[in-house]
Structure 1
Amino acid sequence: MPYFKHKKDTPFRIEQGEAPLVIAHGGAKKLYPENTILAFESVVDMGVDTLEMDLCMTKDKKLITHHNLTIDETSNGSGKVADYTYEELTQFNFGYHFQDLNGSYPYRDDKHEKAVPMMVEELFQEFDRDVTYIMEIKDSGALGKQAAKQLNDLIVAYGLEEYVCVASFDEDVLDYFLEIKDEDIIVSLDYDTATEFIVANLIGYGIFMDYEGYGMQLPIEEMGVPLGNRYLQWKIHKNDMFVHYWTIDDKEDMKYLINNGADGIISDRVDLLLEVLEEMGY
């Protein structure tokens, strides 16, 4: 029986022999304050291929780049993202807790004007098609569905249907997005479906399965099960899907995954990943 071959080509899957995508995790969290304007602009200047980010809705229904549903861990403020307007959030210092590679806090006493979350609309306006995007919706329930609808509308409005990969660990939100999304927008598998895919293909009945998503983001290992090996990557590609690995900050792990055929490496140390690609002759 043939593997399913109905998936369209996407910029999130590479051809054999090409360099994998350099994907900045939250804008490279170990180099810059995560999910901020400062981080995204800095890594684009470094030459990354893809911006990975998390999305939350504000009180005034702006879709912004922020990992947690609260701001306590990333700023000098506290409370839920959804309880503040975007303008109110920009008054906080989202570089306050950022610790650089030397162990210092460069933005704690002197707030950088761009150490704040970015509205998705402004993100698309600034970077357009210069990069691709992996965007994870963090909100759940009704707010998560509002975020999904707004994200779909923004992607279509800016003509970025084939440049954005949408993800969510919330199965209900992702199912809703699949229902309402433009048909050209790329979606990756949620956690449970990715787990089902892996089990099916490792056991041997994956050939009978079919999935709506175009690919997946995986850790290099989960519960002692290696997920970065050549065999699993081959099975994913046989299903016409892409695979990106997170969060990879070790050069040897990067080389291992690249040699096994990874389509992309999600990293907080994109500086090291760029070095690795140069060392490997890309």
Structure 2
Amino acid sequence: MGRKTKVAISVGAAGIAAWAASKAVAKPVVRESKKALEFDNPIVLANRGGLFGAPENTLSAFTNSASLGVHGFSVDIRLTKDEEILVFHDEYIDDTTNLAGKVADFTLQELKDSDAGYQFTDENGAYPFRGKGEKLISLKELLDRFPHMFVSINMKESPDTYEGSLMPSKLWRLIEESSAEDRVAVTSSYDEQIDRFNLYAQNRVATGAGDDEVKKSYAAYASQFGHLYNPQADMFQAPEKLGIFSLSSEGFITFLSKLNIPIYYKDIDDENAILSMINNGAAGFITSKPELVMQVIHENTSE
């Protein structure tokens, strides 16, 4: 046996020994249950209220989705000029209203006075909501109007911006004033924003995984050291794939489930893909087509 072979065997043996030792000592860190996430069957969250039935982020969109029987909404939030929290996704509002500029350039009232149906078209290319009084909605209004709905709230602004620096504290204050701690979850692409929000919330609100947390969790799952993973989130909202890696496999879903972490998949509108993920243990879906996803779930679960 050559020297290189002996070294390789020794290194491999050392790795196995390290893995066995860590496996014997480490115990999985299971997340504490959050009331907002307690569902018996896969759920449907209408993305921005549902993008195809009515202008996104408007009362019409949320009301329409609620009438379908969805379990809740997935919304993005931004801060206005007068530091109110608006339900809105992009930094600029040009493609949604008859105004032009950044959300942060306008007060909440100015944004609510705009024509939120301005750019919405139906399948025939018509503008059925233009000039019909469609309004954007604040997060407070959404929580007040739909007290029975679960709402997943995504903080869009970077923590490096002025608006982003204020958002975690203002969001926590609003949730607390609305007594909505047990019916919302808070997330962001920026892990730092979630951490800053939780400094105020102190684990009283379910929190999601930022981009780095998702990558870290998958790396732990794909390695032989998943038992060392210490999750920092109560839920995941994720696409079907992370690059070439599948986040919707039964193995990964089971890995998170054992840690008491449900995973909700975004933008999945294909019936076969939805059914496959349900069978793999997906906790739910964030979709622009809630009617389709609800039909698949009703036909394939005991709900």
Q: TM-score, normalised by structure 2?
A: 0.86
Of 66-75 and 2-11, deviating more is 2-11
Q: Please name the residue that 1:259 is paired with.
A: 279
After TM superposition, which residue ranges in structure 1, 4 or more long, deviate above 6 angstroms? none
Query: Aligned equivalents of 2:41 and 2:121: distance in 1?
Result: 30
The corresponding residue for 1:5 is 30
Percent of aligned pairs with the same residue? 27
What residue number does 1:67 align with? Answer: 89
For 1:1-282, what aligned pairs fall within 5 Å after superposition? 1-14=26-39, 18-108=40-130, 111-113=131-133, 115-128=134-147, 130-140=148-158, 141-281=161-301, 282=303
Deviations 1:80-127 (A, max 9, x none): 11111111112322222223345443223xx232x3221111112111
* Aligned mates of 2:236, 2:202 — CA distance in 1: 19
CA contact 2:45–2:286 (8 Å) conserved in 1: yes
Q: Residues 9-43 of structure 1: CA distance to partner in whole angstroms, max 9, x if unpaired?
A: 433254xxx42111101111122211111111211
How far apart in 1 are the matches of 2:149 and 2:206?
A: 15
How many residues align? The count is: 275
Conservation of the 8 A alpha-carbon contact between 1:136 and 1:166? yes
Paired residue for 2:20?
Answer: none
Question: 1:119-159 deviations in whole A, cap 9, x for unaligned?
Answer: 1111121111x110100111223311312211101111121
Amino acid in the other structure paired with 1:218: A
Distance 1:154 1:237 in 2: 30
Larger CA Rg, structure 1 vs 2: 2
* CA distance, structure 2, for counterparts of residue 257 and residue 100 of structure 1: 30
Gap change, CA 1:250 and 1:103, over 3 Å in 2: farther
Query: What stretches of structure 2 of length at least 5 have no aligned partner?
Result: 1-25
Residues 98 and 185 of structure 1, relative CA distance in 2, 3 Å threshold? same
